[in-house]
């Protein structure tokens, strides 16, 4: 029982995900700055920001609903459950959590709560950010779901651990779902709001979008949501296409190499408009996902 709780809450569960996700956010900011010929903040800045925000007063604007403070808590709770579902080292502490349907449900649920946060803010920028978030969800999640179904169909199982075994049996570097890898990478950019898809919280346009009115602990929880989303999406990419990780060292190398590529793409591209994003995902990415699913089903 103690080992199970340790795996869920500490390693390789929630605490490990938080520490690694925040470290990547710091590395990402540093890399982006260097790509743009700036110095950038220290890589520990995300930890400093979180601790400082947790110590600040939380201001709740007038006219907000109960969802204003509940939404970030529920988003973190959904992602907390998801960190216990990922077999990054081959297995999970609770076998019943090792299911693709649960992963899909929790990813969508966390995004829904983020949208609720903007709608509950009773403020124009928050509402615009929420609408953009919902639109981006519709555009991004469908190709993501199709690629996940392709992985499930190829492995013949809904279990993430068995999908890892399938990847290993075909060779870690064989990449039995090459088109799916491209689609999932592009969906990851949209899911974690990296440029050119940082439309729901575009600071130059709508201040901070759905979390414009948040401060103190509420804003700190959104920082936590972003860090966990980075960890989860990159971990899923490693699980689905690279056969998981044999050890923590292998996982860290794969994690930060994929993160480096995300940062590079984000640093060199300009933000799209919401209609351009929708066209890109449904005219380019969605057909690629369908082609990958058809290829898997035929072969």
pLDDT, tens digit (0-9, with 9 covering 90-100), for 45-66: 888 888 888 888 777 777 777 7
42 φ, ψ (degrees, to nearest 5): -65, 155
Per residue in 204-247, pLDDT (tens digit) is 777 777 777 787 887 888 888 888 888 888 988 888 888 777 77
CA distances from 146 to 17, 140, 235 (A): 26, 11, 18
| Residues of the chain scoring pLDDT < 50 | none
What was the pLDDT predicted at 86? 79
What was the pLDDT predicted at 1? 60
Question: Which of 101-124 are b and which e, b meaning 16 or more Cβ less than 10 Å from the residue's Cβ?
Answer: ebbeebbebbbbbbbbbbbbbebe
Instruction: Pull the structure tokens for residue 222.
Output: 């959104």
What was the pLDDT predicted at 7? 61
What was the pLDDT predicted at 264? 85
What was the pLDDT predicted at 91? 60
Angle separating helix axes 216-241 and 248-268, nearest 10 degrees: 110
What was the pLDDT predicted at 210? 73
Query: Any idea where the domains of the chain sit in the sequence?
Result: 2-298
């Amino acid at each position: 029982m103690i080992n199970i709780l340790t795996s869920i809450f500490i390693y390789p569960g929630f605490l490990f995900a938080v520490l690694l996700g925040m470290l990547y956010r710091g590395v990402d900011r540093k890399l982006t700055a260097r790509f743009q010929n700036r110095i950038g903040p220290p890589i520990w800045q995300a930890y400093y920001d979180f601790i400082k925000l947790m110590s600040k007063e939380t201001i709740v604007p007038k006219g907000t609903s109960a969802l204003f403070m509940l939404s970030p808590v529920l988003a973190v709770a959904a992602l907390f459950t998801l960190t216990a579902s990922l077999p990054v080292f081959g297995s999970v502490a609770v076998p019943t959590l090792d299911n693709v349907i649960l992963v899909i449900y929790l990813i969508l649920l966390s995004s829904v709560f983020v949208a609720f946060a903007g709608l509950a803010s009773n403020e124009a920028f928050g509402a615009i950010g929420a609408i953009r978030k919902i639109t981006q969800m519709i555009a991004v999640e469908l190709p993501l779901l199709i690629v996940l179904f392709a992985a499930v169909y190829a492995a013949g199982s809904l279990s993430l651990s068995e999908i890892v075994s399938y990847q290993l049996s075909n060779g870690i570097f064989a990449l039995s779902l090459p088109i799916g890898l491209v689609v999932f990478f592009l969906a990851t950019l949209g899911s974690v709001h990296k440029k050119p898809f940082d439309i729901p919280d575009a600071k130059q346009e709508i201040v901070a979008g759905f979390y414009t009115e948040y401060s103190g602990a509420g804003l700190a929880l959104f920082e936590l949501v972003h860090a966990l989303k980075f960890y989860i999406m990159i971990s899923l990419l490693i699980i689905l296409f690279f056969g998981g990780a044999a050890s923590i060292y292998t996982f860290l190398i794969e994690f930060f190499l994929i993160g480096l590529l995300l940062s590079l793409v984000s640093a060199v591209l300009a933000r799209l408009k919401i209609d351009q994003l929708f066209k890109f995902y449904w005219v380019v990415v969605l057909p690629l996902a369908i082609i990958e699913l058809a290829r898997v089903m035929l072969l």
